[in-house]
A and B are shown apart, each in its own frame.
Chain A
Amino acid sequence: MKAQSVAAYLLPVGCLVAGCSDAQSVLNPHGAEAESIALLFWITAIGGALIWLAVVGALIYAGRRHRKPYSQASAARLVLWAGAVVPSILLAVLLGYALALIPDLRPLAASADDDRLHIEVIGEQFWWRVIYHPPDGQPVVSANEVRLPVGERVTFSLKSTDVIHSFWIPPLGGKMDMIPGRTNTFSLKATKAGIFRSPCTEFCGPSHALMAFTAVAMKPGRFDRWLANEGKEAVNGKPGLKPFLANGCGACHAIRGTEADGAVGPDLTHLASRKTLAAGSLPNTEDAIARFIAEPDEVKPGVRMPAFGMLPQDEIDAIAAYLARLE
């Protein structure tokens, strides 16, 4: 606990300060809540580091051979002031500061019937059903990707159909659990555009580690255009649709504008416009789609989708090619 190990502590912290910014980081804030909390983190982390140095310094000093022992009275004063009075004051101030953030970060009024954009996200093993409810207009069903306009507060209502999941976009703000039988409502406000990875954060089964979605904060105009496109039906007529329907894929998956209207698995209407496949576990490429059709359980243990590896390869490829073009 001498100087070297202190340096060892500071090195990775320094890397953070230097901004190893990444898509899933709390310290890479792009939203109002994440900004306040990142500031809170830095205040407490630096304060904590100073306190730790003081305590360990006192410990090392106490271990020195040639020093005058404290008198009983001054030792008792140390317990009173450093052990009780000062910590109480510091904690009270810190608590007041942190609790005062809550009304702004999580306004009580957040509810599903205000006039904001409202996004319903339903956690299912191991993917996300996403339904956009614009204040004026029809609901738009999507999956495994959450887009939201920068500068607007967006209300999320979070549900689950099977086990507990947790919804978290680290660069935008804190998490909120999705609990069967309950609807949790909260709101987030993106302040900068960006693309983020959002992992499920409540252990939900074998593929918990492979359950993530992409969050995209976009300029409001671009968001509106994207949402308008997302609400449209799929462009029809590619050759892969036929094997898709013939092999019963439509029993679970919907592709609006076709006969496929299943509601069990993710909506695939605009699959090709998403950044990732299979809830963040594969890159969204034609090959990856083909692989997932053939052996979903190899990619995601415990996944609900049955494997279709028994289909002829050319049918799998045709379906994959079709899906990879559903912009």
Chain B
Amino acid sequence: MSAADMHEDNTRKAQEERLRAAWMAPRGWRYFTAVNNTRVGLWYIVTAFTFMLFAGVLALLMRVQLAVPNNSFLSADFFNQTFTLHGTVMMFLFAVPIFEAVAITVLPQMLGARDLPFPRLSAFGYWSFALGGVFVCGSIFFGAAPDTGWFMYPPLATDPEYSGIGADIWLLGLSFIEVASIAAAVELIVGFLKCRPPGMRINLTPLYGWYVLVVAGMILFAFPPLIAGDILFELERMFDWPFFDPERGGDPLLWQHLFWIFGHPEVYIIFLPAIALLAMIVPTFAQHPIVGYSWIVLAAVGTGFLSFGLWVHHMFTTGLPSISLGFFSAASEAVAIPTGVQIFVFLATLLAGRVVFSVPMLFAAGALAIFVIGGLTGVMVALAPFDWQAHDTYFVVAHLHYTLIGGMLFPTFAGLYYFYPVMRGRMLSARLGKTGFWLMFVGFNVAFFPMHIAGLRGMPRRVFTYPDEIGFNVLNLVSTIGAFVFASGVLVVIWAIARPKRNEPYAGRNPWNAGTLEWLIEMPGEDWGVRSVPIIESRYPLWDQKNLMRDVDAGRFYLADAAEGRRETLVTSVLDGDPVQCLRLPGPAYVTILAAFSLGGVFIFLTYHWWIAALVSGAICAVCILYWLWTGTAEIPEKREKNVGLGLTLPLYVSGPRSVGWWAMFITMVGDGTALASLIFGYFFYWTVHRGFIAAAAGPGAFWPIVGIALFAATWGAMLGALAANTRGSASGQRLLLILSLLMAVLGSLAGLAGPWTHAMTPSSHAYPAIVWTLVIWVAVHGAVGAVMQGYCLARSLAGRLTRDHDIDLRNVVLYWHFMLVSAVLTFVVVGLFPLAL
């Protein structure tokens, strides 16, 4: 070895030491403070699978009860808790979180990023999910689980005598988990848009990334209507505000609309990430680039859009007019077209290449065979006349399991088999995989195919028993046997994943000969992710870019070193992937766990009406979040710029639209605005359904709403002024305007509340005052949060952490107030001025 080589070798070793030290996840008793995406993603996956197994056991209990007619293995009451929890857990604690889990684990690797832009947010989301999930699942051991079906229709679910505390556990536990989902969505969208490697223009991104973008965007628009619905529902249960009580101007159908505006996109939120896994697996096992990249991207985006126009097909039997039935039937059929395109893109890719039938490909093929049946029965039930017969029968049970197990579970298993080497550095047993696959495939079909027939023979879903002699016996017995075979297959695969593998060798690099960046990873992977961040010129860089792996390993690209011992990753521009910033990421922390648990405390204590405990927990949570923001964000670096390698110098601090924080605020506020829009939808829903709805009680008048608009407009103006003053370098002007705007924000919130207050509107008397109060409280709470942000900026300014050149906080708060102004004006116009126009 020459002296020069020795020197290079030593440099490399030193770099690796520094990178390792910076990115090392904590060990020992601090293990759970880790925020590395590889750790959080792993916990996320394990936790989601644990919930899946729990819900699977519930399903087996149900199948035992239904194996023979007039069975008394489970009581009616316990059976009702069982099916409610089965659906709830599978949907909210497995299917959606597993998307977040896998995406958090593999997306950064696919993008050659070292981590996602907000690692602590991922950890916060995980802890929220884990705590909320345990709370919801645990309820069944106390006989207190929700028992009205996973879509919780009022008035059954609002009946305090019937559903007891179970409905509150559902509403509050899941609202908490929805917070985690939205956190993950924000994280993933920003990750995809801003953390791609240099040169990876938007049309070169791996397909998985596109799907993540579409799905995270859908979460952003689909979950808020459910959160709005949860708020109305919980207000009815806690304070008797009659949103769903027809005797007092409410309507049970409003819940169905809000639930399914969430619930149908939810189906695609579950389905698309699984298709995304297939979109990565299929090209690898065909050893051929995907055929029709732009087709499949457009199809994914199209599915996402269309999925928001289908919700009424869950309500075809509620007595809607024929014109609605026609419209929503047509939209529901239309969504089959992009779905078909995606399936044929896979088929075409396989046909264009040479197929290697390894275990992931086997699961992928099984997924297609099952999913296509679910898709075809979907085409059938989308036809309103057929749905009148099939609705709420076992035909629908069969249909939804074919779509979800074919469209989600099998692809997820394919994905786990495929990505396991990325996560743990080893291959999984092919023998166990094949055995597990065939048990699952056969068991699944034996269990679920007969359900189509049971449904056509008139078996309704959600029955704890059925009479003898109406032709259900054999079908149900066969289903039960199939369910156990299926479960045994799942256990074989879980065993393949979970069994100890210490003595087995690590896999070779890129064991499937895939083309995308996640396979740059060493076996086993280092905490730093990718040794150096490469420049990308192709959709399948490992296939097309010569010596890429060698050059990456040698540290010949960006950020090959961690000279300051800090965690760093590149931020690039949204469309072209031009590097714009070297982003410093925060490390391990307790505060995220504490924030998640105290927020969980708020929801859990509210369930039991422990108001003071909830208040204290909320205060702790607020302090945690402020501490987290104060210490972990918008840090002023020791130098302006940094050389990231290859002669490129990037700033360490950027603000406004170039920064990741600004995008996160923007995305969060879009979701927040969707929730408000859902509440306003409720207001107009009542108005269109019930003649004289607004005349039913005294309104809030026009005076206070107009005052509210004026004050919030002034707040907004003052915030713009504060930003302008700061940019001019006038710290005192900025602080003065911040104080002014803070005062006006508080006054504006109070003015909003004064409307219904001065008109003595009693929310429990009728749905009209109830929805008006809900809207003005929504604005007031947001006004108060905005005021806290203004106070935070003021404090940062006084502490010297917010200056003329370091104004991330101020710019993000101004962005918040843009949205806030729109929210306030919209709300006050609706509650105050709209009644005048009638």
A residues engaging B (CB < 8 A)? 1, 5, 8-9, 12-13, 16, 20, 22-27, 33-34, 36-37, 40-41, 44-45, 48, 51-52, 55-56, 58-59, 61-63, 69-72, 75-76, 78-79, 82-84, 87-88, 91, 94-95, 98-99, 101-103, 105-106, 108, 162-164, 166, 168, 170, 173-177, 179-182, 184-186, 197, 199-210, 280, 301-302
Nearest-Cβ distance from residue A128 to partner chain B, whole angstroms: 15
Interface assignment of B354: CB less than 8 Å from any CB of chain A: yes
B residues engaging A (CB < 8 A)? 75-77, 80, 148-149, 153, 155-156, 159, 162, 246-247, 251-253, 288, 291-292, 295, 317-319, 322, 325-326, 329-330, 333-334, 336-337, 340-345, 347-355, 357, 365-366, 368-369, 372-373, 376-377, 379-380, 383-393, 441-442, 445-446, 449-450, 453, 456-467, 470-471, 475
Nearest-Cβ distance from residue A125 to partner chain B, whole angstroms: 9
Nearest-Cβ distance from residue A151 to partner chain B, whole angstroms: 21
CB atoms of A76 and B291 under 8 A apart: yes
> Which of B288, B389, B458 is within 8 Å of A199, CB to CB?
B458
CB atoms of B246 and A180 under 8 A apart: yes
Q: A105-B385, A166-B317, A182-B246 are in contact. Are A12 and B460 (CB under 8 A)?
A: no
CB atoms of B450 and A44 under 8 A apart: no
- Inter-chain CA distance A5–B368, complex, in Å, is 15
Most buried by A among B342, B355, B385: B385
Interfacial chain A residues near B441, Cβ < 8 Å:
1
> Which of B389, B456, B462, B463 is within 8 Å of A175, CB to CB?
B389
Instruction: Give 18 CB contacts A-B under 8 Å.
Output: A5-B445, A9-B445, A25-B457, A27-B456, A55-B347, A59-B347, A69-B288, A72-B352, A79-B348, A174-B387, A180-B155, A181-B251, A182-B319, A197-B467, A201-B392, A203-B156, A205-B156, A208-B462
Interfacial chain A residues near B446, Cβ < 8 Å:
8
Q: A27-B456, A201-B460 are in contact. Are A59 and B386 (CB under 8 A)?
A: no
Nearest-Cβ distance from residue B717 to partner chain A, whole angstroms: 46
- Inter-chain CA distance A52–B380, complex, in Å, is 14
Q: A27-B457, A70-B348, A83-B345 are in contact. Are A175 and B388 (CB under 8 A)?
A: yes
Nearest-Cβ distance from residue A305 to partner chain B, whole angstroms: 16
> Which of A16, A173, A301 is within 8 Å of B388, CB to CB?
A173
Q: A59-B369, A84-B341 are in contact. Are A79 and B389 (CB under 8 A)?
A: no
CB atoms of A52 and B389 under 8 A apart: no
- Inter-chain CA distance A174–B355, complex, in Å, is 46
CB atoms of B385 and A75 under 8 A apart: no
Determine the main DSSP class of B at the interface with A. Answer: helix
Q: A44-B386, A83-B340, A209-B466 are in contact. Are A108 and B352 (CB under 8 A)?
A: no
Q: A25-B458, A88-B337, A201-B393 are in contact. Are A70 and B351 (CB under 8 A)?
A: yes
Nearest-Cβ distance from residue A57 to partner chain B, whole angstroms: 10
Nearest-Cβ distance from residue B485 to partner chain A, whole angstroms: 13
CB atoms of A181 and B246 under 8 A apart: yes
- Inter-chain CA distance A209–B70, complex, in Å, is 10
CB atoms of B372 and A51 under 8 A apart: yes
Nearest-Cβ distance from residue B682 to partner chain A, whole angstroms: 16
Closest to B377 in A: A48
CB atoms of B155 and A26 under 8 A apart: no
CB atoms of B317 and A177 under 8 A apart: yes
Interfacial chain A residues near B391, Cβ < 8 Å:
174-175, 201
9 A-B pairs besides A180-B155, A181-B246, A302-B162 with CB distance below 8 A are: A24-B458, A59-B350, A70-B351, A70-B352, A76-B291, A102-B325, A166-B392, A201-B393, A202-B153
> Which of A24, A76, A87 is within 8 Å of B337, CB to CB?
A87
Q: A59-B368, A84-B341 are in contact. Are A302 and B388 (CB under 8 A)?
A: no
Nearest-Cβ distance from residue B399 to partner chain A, whole angstroms: 11
Question: Top 7 A-B pairs ranked by shortest CB distance?
Answer: A174-B388, A181-B246, A83-B344, A24-B458, A209-B463, A184-B319, A48-B376
Interfacial chain B residues near A106, Cβ < 8 Å:
322
CB atoms of A181 and B295 under 8 A apart: no
CB atoms of A162 and B155 under 8 A apart: yes
Interfacial chain A residues near B475, Cβ < 8 Å:
12
Q: A26-B456, A52-B373, A72-B352 are in contact. Are A179 and B326 (CB under 8 A)?
A: no
- Inter-chain CA distance A98–B357, complex, in Å, is 41
Nearest-Cβ distance from residue B250 to partner chain A, whole angstroms: 8
CB atoms of A37 and B392 under 8 A apart: no
CB atoms of B369 and A1 under 8 A apart: yes
CB atoms of B369 and A207 under 8 A apart: no
Interfacial chain A residues near B159, Cβ < 8 Å:
163
Most buried by A among B326, B366, B462, B471: B471
Closest to B380 in A: A44
Interfacial chain A residues near B377, Cβ < 8 Å:
48
> Which of B148, B329, B333, B353 is within 8 Å of A203, CB to CB?
B148
Closest to B478 in A: A12
CB atoms of B392 and A95 under 8 A apart: no
Most buried by B among A8, A45, A180: A180
Nearest-Cβ distance from residue A189 to partner chain B, whole angstroms: 14
Closest to B456 in A: A26
Interfacial chain B residues near A82, Cβ < 8 Å:
340, 344, 347
CB atoms of B329 and A208 under 8 A apart: no
Closest to A85 in B: B337
CB atoms of B317 and A170 under 8 A apart: no
Closest to A49 in B: B376
> Which of B148, B366, B368 is within 8 Å of A55, CB to CB?
B368
- Inter-chain CA distance A55–B406, complex, in Å, is 14
Interfacial chain A residues near B318, Cβ < 8 Å:
177, 179, 184
- Inter-chain CA distance A148–B669, complex, in Å, is 57
Interfacial chain A residues near B445, Cβ < 8 Å:
5, 8-9
CB atoms of A69 and B393 under 8 A apart: no
- Inter-chain CA distance A127–B753, complex, in Å, is 46
Interfacial chain A residues near B388, Cβ < 8 Å:
33, 37, 173-176
> Which of B253, B288, B291 is within 8 Å of A179, CB to CB?
B253
CB atoms of A94 and B458 under 8 A apart: no
- Inter-chain CA distance A181–B769, complex, in Å, is 19
Interfacial chain A residues near B162, Cβ < 8 Å:
205, 302
> Which of A162, A280, A301 is within 8 Å of B75, CB to CB?
A301
> Which of B344, B368, B384 is within 8 Å of A99, CB to CB?
B384
Interfacial chain B residues near A184, Cβ < 8 Å:
318-319
Closest to A165 in B: B156
Closest to A185 in B: B319
CB atoms of B385 and A40 under 8 A apart: yes
CB atoms of A197 and B458 under 8 A apart: yes
Nearest-Cβ distance from residue A37 to partner chain B, whole angstroms: 5
Interfacial chain A residues near B326, Cβ < 8 Å:
99, 102
Q: A40-B386, A76-B292 are in contact. Are A22 and B470 (CB under 8 A)?
A: yes
Interfacial chain B residues near A180, Cβ < 8 Å:
155, 246, 252
> Which of A23, A55, A75, A202 is within 8 Å of B291, CB to CB?
A75
CB atoms of A69 and B292 under 8 A apart: no
Interfacial chain B residues near A22, Cβ < 8 Å:
457-458, 470-471
CB atoms of A56 and B352 under 8 A apart: no
> Which of B340, B384, B465 is within 8 Å of A87, CB to CB?
B340
CB atoms of A23 and B470 under 8 A apart: yes
- Inter-chain CA distance A76–B399, complex, in Å, is 30
CB atoms of A78 and B348 under 8 A apart: yes
CB atoms of A99 and B329 under 8 A apart: yes
Closest to B459 in A: A24
CB atoms of B385 and A101 under 8 A apart: yes
CB atoms of B368 and A72 under 8 A apart: no
- Inter-chain CA distance A199–B455, complex, in Å, is 12
Interfacial chain A residues near B288, Cβ < 8 Å:
69
Interfacial chain A residues near B349, Cβ < 8 Å:
75
